[in-house]
A = this chain, B = another copy of it.
Amino acid sequence: MSTNKSSPIWLMKPIKALLLDITGVLYESGTNIAIDGSIDAIQKLRNAGVPFRLITNETQRTVAMLIQKLAGLGYDFIENEVITPAMICREFIRKNQLRPHFLIHPNLEPEFNEIIIRHNPNCVVIGDADDAFTYQAMNNCFKLLMSLKEQSTNENLDHLLIGLGRNKYYRENGQLKLDLGGYLAALEYSTDLRAKIIGKPSKGYFQNALDSFGGKFSKEDLVMIGDDITGDVKGAQDFGVRGVLVRTGKYTPSMEQHPSIKPDAIVDNLKEAIDLIVQKNP
């Protein structure tokens, strides 16, 4: 039922590798059921030898938990196929010798086990902390940032506040839920700092995904498939990767009339996208 079957411009250039969002593409958020056709689609991709990466803004689970969750739904991913903000943040922290104060979901803490330092922090890392977003926790981040800002030179101000994404909200069990983006906005507003974002839609994050293929591909070779018109579609397009929107997950019909974002294609689901891609790239 795609409106793009008749004019598949996005399919005219070769597609050598894929970037896939997880939630809303492989399974519906808050459920334990794979989206119809998605498991077979991944298998088809493997059979066709098209490499892919799952690129997610998930910060309520470690990558191990995520793979286990997906395995429970019938998928068989390995760690190297997944890119999470926590993984990239860990590298960023090491490279820049940062000592973060974390405000993250308790589930995510194991990702930073070797990094969590309880003294003399020099930056703040915010994840989707959910109930851990208490006033006291936010106020502690605020006070730390104000004191770091006072000690800082202008050059390192952009490492003080780090966001594992800046999503506005997500859908869980049919209900909207406030995501970390608002909490980052709160700290930005109160401290007059700008957060560095690790995760979609930041270009650096898409670059990390591209790099993970070991230099085999360029931006033009890739397609991103996701249900988030901003994080997935616009993020990919801004980076120079084709962005395909699925009509699953948090998709709403109004996205098809978005005033400024035009996906390279809109498909009913992952299955339809991959059928088209494999058919065109045998």
A interface, CB within 8 angstroms of B: 129-136, 138-139, 142-143, 146, 168-169, 175-179, 181-183, 185-192
Contact = CB atoms under 8 A, between A and B. Distances in A.
Contact of A136 (B129, B131, B146, B179): B131
Tell me whether chain A's interface is mostly helix, strand or loop, or mixed: helix
A139 to B, nearest CB: 5
Contacts of A189: 168, 181-182, 185
A183 B181 contact: no
Contacts of A191: 168
30 contacts: A130-B135, A131-B136, A133-B134, A133-B138, A134-B134, A135-B178, A138-B178, A138-B182, A139-B177, A139-B178, A142-B169, A142-B176, A142-B178, A142-B182, A143-B175, A143-B176, A146-B169, A146-B176, A168-B190, A168-B192, A178-B186, A178-B190, A181-B189, A182-B185, A182-B186, A182-B190, A185-B186, A185-B188, A185-B189, A186-B186
